[in-house]
Chains A and B, each alone.
Chain A
Amino acid sequence: MNIVVLVKQVPDTYAERKLSSGDHTLDRDATDAVLDEINERAVESALQLKESADGNDSAVTVVAMGPDRATDAIRKALSMGADKAVHLSDEALHGTDAPGTARALAKLIGTIEGVDLILAGNEASDGRTGAVPAMVAELLGIPSLTHTREVTVEGSHVTVRRETDDGVTVLQAELPAVVSVNEKINEPRYPSFKGIMAAKKKPVSTLSLADAGIDASEVGLANAWSTVTESQPKPAKSGGVKIEDEGDGGAKIATYLVSQKLI
């Protein structure tokens, strides 16, 4: 089985994230960048499917779009056990919106032969559009099975248990298909020392827009279908009263809530 995993490098969610004051895009230099956690789960899922597939002809290819330093996120996925990677890196991509990202990823996936399954996280922790996997599927003309907690591939079918706040849906589709995973699907493995060393030798093909056959007029900030016209940080909230509990802490909160007409 030929599996593609879409991964994204995002600002660490344990750090404070910022927008650039100039063009209102993500300030990538303000924080450490990491492989998005949900993508680790997608990689884990791909590796499990590969391990349970018949024969030795399965491969897991990591696909990422992002600046040069996204290589770190790609290496992390390779050190977990993915076989190879395709990295779309081009300065013209800066500021590409979600539909533009989906178009570029769909083209990029098109450069890989014989793809059976495309795995992704359900929603990146930075943009939180939560629609890129479904958009990629729509553009490729294949089914999207999103927010999945369980994925099974049998023959030419994929069956998933989709779990959202609205309930559980069991979905089935013919391969090839796009599957996005939610945070309950698995616990991703830690890369072993051997895996980390091996990852350094695994093939990563870095493509420019031209290499991937993507027209520069389809991507980038200037060609986005929507434009952020202004952005501002919310003024920081400052602390109010702080007291030591002297046995009446609960009662004092109640008094405060009454004074604020909250109870």
Chain B
Amino acid sequence: MAEVLVLVDHLDGEIKKSVFELLTAARTLGEPSAVVIGPANTVGKLSAGLKSHGAARVYVAETDSADFLTPQVEVLASLIRSKEPAAVLIGVSADGKEIAGRLAVKTDSALLTDVVALSEGPSATHSVFGGAFTAEAKANTAHPVITLRPASVEAVPADGAAVEETVDIPSSPVRSATVLSREPVTAGDRPELTEASVVVSGGRGVGSADQFSVVEGLADSLGAAVGASRAAVDSGFYPHQFQVGQTGKTVSPQLYIALGISGAIQHRAGMQTSKTIIAVNKDPEAPIFEIADFGVVGDLFKVAPQLEAEITNRRG
């Protein structure tokens, strides 16, 4: 069976959850081979997780290089040449997209990016314009490079041999940027916006940065992530990284609660594929009600705290 290379994203000896999703998706195309690149002794802490998610082989490249993303590109490129894999799978993130793009042009491979489902062929499903369109795409080259959106495939455990093989890092013909320092984000108490099963968002109607505590309070009672509309972000109520919409994040949770958000296309395009949508807005004509499963015309500062109290009571 053809090999499928899976780039292992890891931080401080911890595997990112998305790697298990990649290994699961890889099994629909062939036999997964995990590729671990990092400082000496990295693989020891990762191998159990790779083995329990079906990695047949684990290619290990040890490096302390300060070159930015270049070791990843070079190792994957050399494995493409020597192993001729059916595909290369990489998780969607800023780094993942960049490694994938560089690898694709370096190895004359098709680039299928931000894929939400994979099937034999390989055929890739994309969700376009914030879920307004779905598109099926196929590669016209050997060893396509595919980036998979986190949380779009459910990780399924499987036994793998996880046979380790050490690989060298070829020197690059490309001059690289050098990393001077790194500060990883420390995870907050709330779930990550794009991975959360519940999202509570606030819009212009929240009125001020201070009053966003109403949105946060309801979110915390539900164990939800907090989002914001562009209008709220542009007004300085909430930081940009929480913006949901055409120019922000795309979310697709089980439950989306929109507080004081009118629902302009700019926002809807980032959340319209949510399973259940609840909206609270003073304006009965707000377009958000056109897509809300349950809408309340009213003052969010009365409705949201009442809902929060109800939820807290039920949870005891």
Which residues of A approach B to under 8 Å, CB–CB? 13-19, 24, 37, 97-99, 102-103, 122, 125-126, 128-132, 134-135, 137-139, 141-147, 159, 164-174, 177, 183-184, 224-234, 236-245, 247-254, 256-258, 260, 262-263
Contacts and interface: CB of A to CB of B under 8 A. Distances in A.
Contacts of B314: 254, 258, 263
Contacts of B240: 183-184
A125 B180 contact: no
B100 A131 contact: yes
Contacts of B299: 245
B175 A241 contact: no
Given A226-B111, A229-B138, A143 B266 contact: no
A126 B126 CA distance: 13
Contact of B132 (A17, A122, A167, A225): A17
A20 B20 CA distance: 35
Contacts of A135: 101-102, 104-105
B232 to A, nearest CB: 15
B241 interface: yes
B158 to A, nearest CB: 27
B179 A134 contact: no
15 contacts: A13-B247, A18-B129, A99-B101, A103-B105, A164-B93, A165-B94, A168-B183, A168-B185, A171-B179, A225-B144, A227-B137, A236-B291, A244-B284, A244-B298, A262-B255
Contacts of B181: 169-170
B290 A125 contact: no
Q: What's the dominant secondary structure at chain B's contact region?
A: mixed
A245 B303 contact: yes
A164 B106 contact: no
B161 to A, nearest CB: 31
Nearest to B314: A263
B94 A229 contact: no
A131 B133 contact: no
A230 B141 contact: no
B174 interface: yes
A167 B138 contact: no
B190 to A, nearest CB: 14
